[in-house]
């Protein structure tokens, strides 16, 4: 990922970031505690952009900002750089990109959609490693019984619940998990 560059941008949820290569996005970073923390996470795998930002990166940032403001955004056309992504995980990410706004799938259900029934735990690992949250909508993946499961992005399950609520999906019967955080 040496050739990847990154940028930060404001959204209604806070400062997000993306990293990219010529092939597509290499990473999406959801807001951390502040812009410096978001930048630090991206800097571990990319370098700050020094020149012109390619149109595919600008387009992705604009789509993410619109999504964060509550708009229904289609991320299917956002190019992703799968360099270094294991074959199983790539298959899972491609299957997950077909799960639409306001829809959810369980880890086991996604395993089946990816052609690996019974691989729910491996799907969970793939979700934890997902470099493109929201673009590859790992927040839409739930544990058995439609329980929240996990979420490795900053804010954990609170962030997952907020992203789902923005799409009309409410965990815990629609009751706020921790009132006042969003």
Has 138 been annotated as catalytic? Answer: yes
Joined tokens for residue 35: 């812009």
Phi/psi for 16 (5° steps) reads -105, 170
Q: Cα(70)–Cα(53) distance, rounded to whole angstroms? A: 25
Question: How many beta carbons lie within 10 A of that of residue 40, not counting itself?
Answer: 12
Q: How far is CA 56 from CA 20, 23, 134, in A?
A: 9, 9, 16
> Among the options 60, 95, 114, 138, which is catalytic?
138
Q: Which residues are known catalytic residues?
A: 138
């Amino acid at each position: 990922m040496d050739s990847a560059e990154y940028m930060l941008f404001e959204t209604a949820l806070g400062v997000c970031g993306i990293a990219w290569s010529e092939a597509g996005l290499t990473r999406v970073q959801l807001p951390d505690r502040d812009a410096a923390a978001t930048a630090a996470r991206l800097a571990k795998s990319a370098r700050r952009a020094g020149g012109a930002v390619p149109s595919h990166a600008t387009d992705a940032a604009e789509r993410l900002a619109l999504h964060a403001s509550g708009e229904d955004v289609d991320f299917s056309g956002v190019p992703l750089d799968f360099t270094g992504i294991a074959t199983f995980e790539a298959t899972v990410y491609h299957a997950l990109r077909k799960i639409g706004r306001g829809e959810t799938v369980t880890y086991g259900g996604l395993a089946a959609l990816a052609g690996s029934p019974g691989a729910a735990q491996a799907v969970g690992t793939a979700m934890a490693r997902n470099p493109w949250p929201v673009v590859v909508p790992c927040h839409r993946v739930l544990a058995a019984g439609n329980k929240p499961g996990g979420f490795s992005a900053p804010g954990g399950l609170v962030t997952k619940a907020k992203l789902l609520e923005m799409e009309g999906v409410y965990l815990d019967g629609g009751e706020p998990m921790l009132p006042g955080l969003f």
